[in-house]
């Protein structure tokens, strides 16, 4: 899946970036936005997203449940982002089936990959579990792959590369069993 920044005020993103990405590939696209209104789900769907990010700390528990159902009704996979065990439980209680654990605390922007790994490991096996943020090297990918994570979000490190393909190739190779 390709994560596409759609938030304008904080990340200089736009929903039109989804159209650009969709015109260049058939890979599922994640609308990465601070979703607080159902009209954003409509926009994600209209611009070609396959999935939408729902951040637990941005929503009340009932809103989260509503947005999960509304996403599914629109054919969008709701990726529910959490940071701590309490948020993970809120996501589970709201019916999330795909949970991403952010290694970056959105309040302080400090990274804690060990915390993220522990929360990912605690998720039920029926949940698709993702490690979000802090994955920068092939060694990081191998470490995440050794745990419970089904996937990892790799973004910032690739965005900072003038030519990201060599690094992306190394990161993908690190997912293979017995990679160096």
Range among 1-5, 41-45, 107-111 with highest mean pLDDT value: 41-45
Separation CA 134–CA 169 (nearest Å): 18
Q: What is the pLDDT of residue 107?
A: 85
Q: What is the dihedral of CA 93, 123, 99, 2, to 10 degrees?
A: -170
Q: pLDDT of 63-111, one tens digit each?
A: 999 999 999 999 999 999 999 999 999 999 999 999 999 999 888 889 9
Do 30 and 4 meet the contact criterion of CB atoms below 8 Å apart?
Answer: yes
For range 49-58, the mean pLDDT? 97
Query: 3-class secondary structure for 105-130?
Result: CCCCCCECHHHHHHHHHHCCCCCEEE
In a domain, 14, yes or no: yes
What CATH number does residue 129 fall under? 3.20.20.70
| Residues in a beta bridge with 19 | none
Strand intervals (E) in 24-135: 29-32, 51-55, 77-82, 98-102, 128-132
Burial class, 71, CB count within 10 angstroms (exposed 0-12 / middle 13-18 / buried 19+): buried
In a domain, 179, yes or no: no
Q: Which two tokens stand for residue 111?
A: 């990274």
For range 120-147, the mean pLDDT? 94
Which residues contact residue 87 at a Cβ distance below 8 angstroms, ignoring those fewer than 6 apart?
A: 56, 57
Do 63 and 44 meet the contact criterion of CB atoms below 8 Å apart?
Answer: no
Q: pLDDT of 93-103, one tens digit each?
A: 999 999 999 99
In a domain, 178, yes or no: no
Q: How many domains does the chain have?
A: 1
Structural domain boundaries enclosing 17: 2-173
User: Is residue 180 very low, low, confident or very high in pLDDT (cuts 50, 70, 90)?
Assistant: low
């Amino acid at each position: 899946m390709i994560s596409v920044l759609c938030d304008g005020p904080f990340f200089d993103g736009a929903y039109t970036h989804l159209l650009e990405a969709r015109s260049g590939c058939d890979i599922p696209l994640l609308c990465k936005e601070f979703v607080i209104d159902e009209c954003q789900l409509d926009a994600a769907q209209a611009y070609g997203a396959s999935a939408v990010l729902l951040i637990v700390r941005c929503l009340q528990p009932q809103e989260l449940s509503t947005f999960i159902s509304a996403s599914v009704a629109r054919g969008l996979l709701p990726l529910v982002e959490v940071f701590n065990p309490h948020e993970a439980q809120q996501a589970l209680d709201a019916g999330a089936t795909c949970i991403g654990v952010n290694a970056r605390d959105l309040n302080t922007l400090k990274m804690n990959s060990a915390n993220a790994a522990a929360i990912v490991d605690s998720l039920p096996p029926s949940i698709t579990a993702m490690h979000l943020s802090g994955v920068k090297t092939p060694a990081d990918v191998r470490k995440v792959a050794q745990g419970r994570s089904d996937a990892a979000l790799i973004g910032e490190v690739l965005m900072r590369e003038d030519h990201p393909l060599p690094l992306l190739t190394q990161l993908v190779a690190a997912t293979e069993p017995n990679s160096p």
